[in-house]
Amino acid sequence: MQNQIKEIFHSENGKMGYRMIKLSLEKQGTNLILLTVHKYMKALNLKSISLRKRPNYVKGTSHKVFKNLLNRDFTAPKKNLKWCTDFTYIHSSNGKMMYNCCILDLHDRSVMARRSSTNIAADLEI
């Protein structure tokens, strides 16, 4: 039983907790109660990676508000005619977040500039 739990845990790179492992065991035809799965994981010293809880949104004043000039037309007939920004949220393996901001040329979707940070702020935009 413990080998099954260890195998499931490592197959998901340590992201599954005892609740998800219990569901995975049930799909394989093994019924255990949550407390038993939790005790086995504790005995095997298996701890899932927990993501940090997102803080509540605090509404503030807008920095700059621009008109919507593209109107969802994300094509460009030639280079350097239309650019747009893209923010990407990246979960790292230690539970922290990384933020990536890119400026894209809409003609060929090439990256014109990019910046990464561990904090999301207005100055992250290039």
Instruction: Give tens-digit pLDDT for 12-69.
Output: 888 888 899 999 999 999 889 999 999 999 999 998 877 778 888 888 877 788 888 8
Give the pLDDT band of residue 121 (cuts 50, 70, 90). Answer: confident
Q: Whole-angstrom Cα distance, residue 26 to residue 100?
A: 39
What is the per-residue pLDDT for 23?
92
What total number of domains does the chain contain? Answer: 2
pLDDT reading at 124 higher than 70? no
Strands 97-105 and 83-91: antiparallel
Same domain, 88 and 123: yes
Q: How far apart are CA 63 and CA 122, in angstroms?
A: 8
Q: Please give the residue range of the domain that contains residue 76.
A: 65-126
Do 33 and 73 lie in one domain? The reply is no
pLDDT at site 26? 92
CA distance 36 to 42: 10
User: Are 71 and 112 part of one and the same domain?
Assistant: yes
70-to-62, 66, 75, 76 alpha-carbon distances in Å? 21, 11, 9, 10
Would you say residue 126 has pLDDT above 70? no
pLDDT score for 125? 59
Q: How far apart are CA 91 and CA 52, in angstroms?
A: 10
- Residue ranges of E strands in 48-106: 83-91, 97-105
